[in-house]
Amino acid sequence: MRISTKGRYGLRIMLELALRHGQGPVLADLIERSQGISGKYVHQLMPGLRHAGLVRTVRGPHGGYELARSPDEITVLEIITVLEGPPVPVECVAQPGSCERTGVCVTHELWREVATAIEDVLSQATLGTLCRRQRERGQEPLSFSI
């Protein structure tokens, strides 16, 4: 399993929103400057995150993006699943019944264990957890004035 740019950047965008949670809507331009992700790409990823109930869009002169829930309530698993699909290493784990050897194949059991381990790690990590880790490193979000 390999996380694509879409998944990596999407997680960084969500982390940026989490770091600024409670400070009002965040402009795509600010995310672009802080995370080095083009505003166009930010706008491309937001509809899926919004549709999944992870992000809210605020319109108007003081609009932008904000988390739809608390950072402690949004798991990395939710974000990756929205952007990439379920984090599974092989199709037979992702699509039960897609392989006639599932019942006799010992590698299927191994891949299921790998998928379970990945899901466990990603479901335990929340945006709140990542924010605390970043702050422990002394890395606050960049501040920009317009």
Distance CA 53, CA 66 (A): 11
Q: Residues near 68 by Cβ (< 8 Å), separated by ≥ 6?
A: 50, 53, 54, 55, 56
Would you call 144 exposed, middle or buried from its count of C-beta atoms within 10 A (0-12, 13-18, 19+)? exposed
Q: What is the value of pTM for the model shown?
A: 0.87
| Sign for the pseudo-dihedral over CA of 99, 100, 103, 106 | negative
pLDDT, averaged per 10 consecutive residues of the chain (146 residues), comes to 93 97 95 94 96 96 95 98 92 78 82 94 98 85 50
Classify residue 55 by its DSSP letter. Answer: E
The whole-number pLDDT of residue 117 equals 96
The CATH architecture one would assign to domain 5-136 is Orthogonal Bundle (1.10)
Helix axes 106-124, 76-84, angle to 10 degrees: 120
Helix ranges (H only) for the chain are 5-19, 28-35, 39-51, 76-84, 91-94, 106-124, 127-136
Domain boundaries, the chain: 5-136
The whole-number pLDDT of residue 89 equals 87
The whole-number pLDDT of residue 140 equals 64
